[in-house]
Structure 1
Amino acid sequence: MSWTLGPEQLDDLARGAAILGTGGGGDPTIGRLLVREAMREHGPVTVLDPDEVADDAFVIPVANMGAPTVMVEKLPGADEPVAALRALETFTGRKADATMPIECGGSNSLIPLIVAARTGLPVVDADGMGRAFPELQMETFHVYGIPASPLAMAGEHGETCVFDTGKDTKRLEDLARRVTVGLGGGAAIAEYSMTGEQLKRTAVPRTLSLALSLGRAVREAREAHRDPVEALGEAVTGTIYGHLRVLFRGKVTDVERRTEGGFARGRATFAAFEGDSGLELRFQNEHLAALRDGEPICVVPDLVCVLEADTGEPITTEALRYGQRVTVIGIAAPEIMRTPEALAVFGPSCFDLPFTFQPVEEKLPI
């Protein structure tokens, strides 16, 4: 069933999107402010359930591309995502009937809302990652046969370009990443244009409504003086994610972060509040693996999320700092992201991690 998203819901949505974004997908504050301004000028947006999208509808997902650290220092604009969508419409010769996110992420879950508010298009309650991943081919869309090409890109100075690499989405990622670096490290993209039938077959469903639910759960838990992590576990139960595990409670002892090749790469280490246990997180824009005392306990595609210990607020990779007191949680990825076909595209080996994927609920049974 379709529903209306207004500015009063954006705080909860951004918070939940940042949790699902596993540290990446862009700064949620930036995305929230851009959407709020677009809604102030143009009004709320309509969110469509995937089942409501006509099979022959034409859907164009939009997002920002680039290293999150760059986008904090050089704020993205609201014109570029619309320009990217229009450029792809011109190239394909077909007008979009709806837009949608390509990923769950602090900012990238929200970019389609800017386009929706400014164009009047509805947004589909689904995405192609079920979390955030750093590369364009790391999508359930790609896993199940939809090419990302053609891709349209728009820069901050009015530049637009279109890449058409056919079915070679890895080549598309390489070319688009290089141009993104040339545009200053960040750009807007429109890609994976598809029909409603293809969307229903390949997308991770209802992730916007889940993000809203998770963000609301954290806020209401704080207001009721409850444990936000416990509330998050209750909110995840019964969804296609299903399981949440507390991986670690402690403080940040070190962060190594560098921007290279259009990505924010690095690692962070944590020390337990009590005892001598330690945790290491490895990330490439997003958190990819959590190792407790050298043992991997949660790895991609399952979600590793860092929360402020007292408030439950998500902390992005670019916001990790020495001394922060945190709770690190793992959330099970939906089954559509755990198939052999999916693990071949965004499992541990795709990030050169020397681990075998094991579901977090099996690694850490209750």
Structure 2
Amino acid sequence: MATMKLTNQEQVEDFVRGCTLYATGGGGLPENGIVSLMSEIEKNGSVGWTDVAEIPDDVLAVCPFLMGSIAPHDEYTIKEMEGFGYIEGVNKEKERLAKAIQELEDYTGKKLGVVVPIELAGANTSGPVSAGSSLGMLAVDGDYCGRAIPEILQITPYLNGKECLPVTSVDEWGNTCIIKDAVNLRVVEKIGKLISAGGYGLAGQAGFVMTGKELKETVIPGTLTKAYEVGRFIREAREAGETQMVKKLAEKIGAYILAEGTVVSVEDEDREGYYWGTITVRSIEDEEFKIWFKNENHVCWKNGQPYVSSPDLICIVDKDTAEPIPNPKMKGAKEVAILALPCKPQLREEKIKNVLCPKYFGFEDIEYVPVETVMEGK
């Protein structure tokens, strides 16, 4: 029934590349997403997704997601982890997500038939699709925000008033938890992050059970296929010897090129289950761009002045190859390009915009201005 099937590593890498671009620096490590998808291809010959219109109205859908920080572990943290017995993990990302789905089925007594990725991301789209495949479930060609986000309230189920709870959680080490009730969705996010922090990384969690009919009213359709097409476009353009990769990519996805230049510093920390930091880029025009991230990139300043922000997408790619660069890999980056593109219309609805704009992240003096408005005023 799958509308799209990936059958080899090249296709998998194309898909993960596109998802990583839309992840705006966060969403897990792409290499882990490749491992998840390839394990299903090696087992079943293919892995893929189904058009939303093909999903029956009465089937139950679930949203499995990776929750936590993707910050690199330093020697002190590794030693601390060893003190808790965290030495050899027992669950890779796909297994954490699959087990979280099974825990949710066991707890609710409901049979779940469809998985929906919470976001577009190198690991946090590939993992859910692969977990669903491993359980014989369909995956939907769509997600709940059309980019990656740090908090589970920044998605269309929140916009549409869909119930999140209960949420089940299984981490790398096998720690298993259930969030049965919470004051609100932001509290679910808080508790979920604390659970993941207890495992020093990403926990596999599952929630947002809804019918196929509700899913069709909530999901942003076609995003997985779009990500695959963009990832394939980048590879094919490189193979064809294209010398203006960033320009071609910007034209393909409707993005604006904010700057090209050199990464001069990355200040980062692992705190409260999130990966926080600021990336500084010196452009070829000798202008300074600073990008603040909380897992994903959210606020960009140009020469000290607010420039572009979430909910619009701020993406950093290699200047020559247009390969998207996740924030944990940014320290090794040299020459980059900063792209910005409009978010999905749903994220500009007041309810989501208010929890994904600079003010929500603590930048009280920065008003969100749509990127196309900013660029028109240049």
Structure 2 length-normalised TM: 0.90
- Structure 1 residues 145, 231: closer, same or farther in 2, change over 3 A? same
Find out whether 1:119 has 2:129 as its counterpart: no
Number of the residue aligned with 1:53 = 55
**Alignment identity in percent?**
29
- Following superposition, the deviation at residue 319 of structure 1 comes to 0.8
Distance 2:192 2:333 in 1: 36
In the alignment, residue 360 of structure 2 is paired with which amino acid?
C
Distance 2:174 2:328 in 1: 27
Give the secondary-structure state (helix, strand or coil) at the position aligned to 2:27: coil
Give the secondary-structure state (helix, strand or coil) at the position aligned to 1:346: coil
Number of the residue aligned with 1:360 = 371
Give the secondary-structure state (helix, strand or coil) at the position aligned to 1:55: coil
Give the secondary-structure state (helix, strand or coil) at the position aligned to 1:12: helix
- Following superposition, the deviation at residue 167 of structure 1 comes to 6.7
Number of the residue aligned with 1:240 = none
Number of the residue aligned with 1:228 = 245
Number of the residue aligned with 2:331 = 321
- Following superposition, the deviation at residue 133 of structure 1 comes to 0.9
Alignment partner of 2:272 out of 261, 264, 286: 261
Structure 1 length-normalised TM: 0.93
Question: Any runs of at least 4 consecutive aligned residues in structure 1 with deviations exceeding 6 A, and if so which?
Answer: 71-75
Check the 8 A contact 2:22/2:120 in 1, yes or no. Answer: yes
Find out whether 1:195 has 2:211 as its counterpart: yes
Alignment partner of 1:303 out of 313, 322, 326: 313
In the alignment, residue 55 of structure 1 is paired with which amino acid?
D
Unaligned ranges ≥5, structure 2? 79-88
User: How many pairs align?
Assistant: 359
Check the 8 A contact 1:89/1:95 in 2, yes or no. Answer: yes
When structure 1 is superposed on structure 2, of 82-91 and 157-166 the one drifting more is 157-166
When structure 1 is superposed on structure 2, of 217-226 and 316-325 the one drifting more is 316-325
Number of the residue aligned with 2:83 = none
Alignment partner of 2:345 out of 335, 338, 342: 335
In the alignment, residue 343 of structure 2 is paired with which amino acid?
A
What do residues 65-120 of structure 1 show as CA deviations (whole Å, max 9, x unaligned)? 11112589889443211100001111221111111211111110101122133112
Alignment partner of 1:20 out of 19, 22, 25: 22
Number of the residue aligned with 2:81 = none
Number of the residue aligned with 1:239 = none
1:52-131 aligned within 5 A: 52-70=54-72, 76-131=92-147
Find out whether 1:30 has 2:32 as its counterpart: yes
Give the secondary-structure state (helix, strand or coil) at the position aligned to 2:340: strand
What do residues 230-282 of structure 1 show as CA deviations (whole Å, max 9, x unaligned)? 3323432xxxxxx3100110000111000011111010111112x32110000
What do residues 142-162 of structure 1 show as CA deviations (whole Å, max 9, x unaligned)? 122112211110122333221
When structure 1 is superposed on structure 2, of 65-74 and 125-134 the one drifting more is 65-74
When structure 1 is superposed on structure 2, of 145-154 and 224-233 the one drifting more is 224-233
Number of the residue aligned with 1:5 = 6
Unaligned ranges ≥5, structure 1? 237-242
Check the 8 A contact 1:64/1:81 in 2, yes or no. Answer: yes
1:159-238 aligned within 5 A: 159-165=175-181, 168-226=184-242, 227-236=244-253
What do residues 276-324 of structure 1 show as CA deviations (whole Å, max 9, x unaligned)? 2110000000000111112222200100000001100011111112661
Give the secondary-structure state (helix, strand or coil) at the position aligned to 1:178: helix
Alignment partner of 1:279 out of 260, 274, 289: 289
